[in-house]
Amino acid sequence: SPPVPHPPMSISTTRPLSLPPLRNVLVVGGGGREQALAWAFRRCPEIEGIWISPGNAGTSDLDGCTPLAIAEADHDGMVAACRDHRIDLVVIGPEAPLAAGLADTLCGQGIAVFGPSAEGAQLEASKAWAKQLMQEAGIPTAGYWTVSNEQEGLALLQQLQRPLVVKADGLAAGKGVTVANSVEETATAIQEAFQGRFGQAGEQLVLEERLTGPEVSVFALCDGENMVLLPPAQDHKRLLEGDQGPNTGGMGAYAPAPLLDQAQLEQVRERILEPTLAALRKRGILYRGVIYAGLMLTPDGPQVIEFNCRFGDPECQTLMPLMGPELARVLQACALGRLADAPTLTLTELCSACVVAAAAGYPDSPRKGDPITVALDPESSSTDQLQLFHAGTRHSTEGVLETSGGRVLAMVAQAPDFDQAFAKAYEGLTQVRYDGMQFRKDIGHQVRAPKLY
């Protein structure tokens, strides 16, 4: 179906000035999220070349996309690659290089970057920092305490006598949170963290009141002052059907999630996202990238569970196929602080369904090196409203496609309703095989007929 205009943006609509050329784009990262971004940029008619570092086996087969092998920490190498390939825009996918200041280095060289500075990335890289910012800005979030040793944590718990959510302050690859069910579990989580379970990331803890309600992810594309919101998406964090089993990076998603209607999304903008961007500005941070708000829809309204400084994975794979060809221009405008000059972002009015397939042993000890067979016709797998985005894949020295990480790939499909979209995504997955393949058969159960694929 044809793209429809995105709902009005909260930016002035005086005659836009033209943005600089956008011929060459560099995507930093190698997950499914980065493949989906690169894939979406191919829809932008002005873009001539897309580079991705390091990419994955899927991006090496993506037409018009050239892999680079620059280490994430090699900032000088990234600058040199931008010069060599005349890069007009860098989009940084993961949080680690953002927290390590890659955007600062590139911006310092006059390169346009979508992704915040290291200071801005603290929104994700330090939960204590983010909580303080939220508290100062009056943003609805769970009550919390910051503790920096075991004694302090246990004394607080002794006083409160109720289970708390225990969070490592720093980046812990999505594993730093324990939602305790009892005071004893809370105490154990505090002790383990201070015994070094999360390394440096756990040297300080945030202890939080436990909230309840469904979770939804909202993404704001920001230029430092203004923002455009994407449709809400819902992730599925637990490994097993019925939301059982351990937490993972995300086993599937769907969008637009009807958990928030347009009016509620506007409230989230006004009460959460705009005040966050303003609070960042007040601290002297011009945040040019995406703010990912992980929200819990509590009986008292939406509250922030966490902020991330990047797109969600697999929410990004779910959302990108809904984006119009203007997306790359909108990200460029954000990078330049010129969202007012961006074209209106159009969205396809379809439902998008995403199912992640993980490796044997995921999340604790994913096995690598299982050969993957894909029977999908490569043409139909990236058009026709069905996409196969790789994540933990590589080509062996013999050129065989094989698993190389926890979340191996995502099958994404769009259709006029979620029943059809999920039927298509699960049908697509039947064409993919590898030993130990794990996927949830109930992704999207919230929005579709009860059927286990």
Residue type, 282: K
Nearer to ligand AMP, 306 or 341 (CB): 306
Residue 253 structure tokens = 């998603």
Per partner kind, with CB cut-offs from 5 to 8 A, the member of ligand AMP, ligand GLY, none near residue 47 is none
Binding mask 208-227 for ligand AMP (x = CB under 6 A): x-xx---x------------
Task: Identify whether the C-beta of residue 326 lies closer than 8 Å to the C-beta of residue 315.
Answer: no
What DSSP string runs through 119-147? TTTHHHH-HHHHHHHHHHHT--B--EEEE
The least CB distance from residue 217 to ligand GLY, in Å, is 7
Number of residues near ligand AMP (by CB under 6 A): 14
Nearer to ligand GLY, 176 or 302 (CB): 176
The least CB distance from residue 255 to ligand AMP, in Å, is 17
The least CB distance from residue 142 to ligand AMP, in Å, is 4
The least CB distance from residue 447 to ligand GLY, in Å, is 17
Per partner kind, with CB cut-offs from 5 to 8 A, the member of ligand AMP, ligand GLY, none near residue 367 is none
Beta strands in 233-275 (DSSP E): 234-235, 238-240, 244-247, 252-255
The least CB distance from residue 176 to ligand AMP, in Å, is 7
**Cα–Cα distance for residue pair 109/77, rounded to 1 Å:** 13
Q: Angle, nearest 10°, between helix axes 150-160 and 183-194?
A: 170
Out of 177, 297, 342, 401, the only residue in the binding site for ligand AMP (CB under 6 A) is 177
Binding mask 274-313 for ligand AMP (x = CB under 6 A): --------------------x----------xx-------
CA dihedral 15, 19, 23, 29 (to 10 degrees): -110
Q: Which residues bind ligand GLY (CB under 6 A)?
A: 174, 235, 249-250, 308, 312-313, 315
Out of 23, 85, 197, 237, the only residue in the binding site for ligand AMP (CB under 6 A) is 237
The least CB distance from residue 443 to ligand GLY, in Å, is 13
Residue nearest to ligand GLY (CB): 250
Per partner kind, with CB cut-offs from 5 to 8 A, the member of ligand AMP, ligand GLY, none near residue 9 is none
Non-local CB neighbours of 298 within 8 Å, separated by 6+ positions = 211, 212, 213
Task: Identify whether the C-beta of residue 311 lies closer than 8 Å to the C-beta of residue 219.
Answer: yes
Residue 95 binding ligand AMP, by CB under 6 A: no
What DSSP string runs through 177-218? EEE-SSHHHHHHHHHHHHTTTTGGGGSSEEEE----S-EEEE
Nearer to ligand GLY, 103 or 309 (CB): 309
Beta-carbon neighbour count of residue 203 at 10 Å?
15
Match 């005086």 to its residue by tokens: 14
Beta-carbon neighbour count of residue 97 at 10 Å?
23
Task: Identify whether the C-beta of residue 231 lies closer than 8 Å to the C-beta of residue 256.
Answer: yes
Per partner kind, with CB cut-offs from 5 to 8 A, the member of ligand AMP, ligand GLY, none near residue 208 is ligand AMP
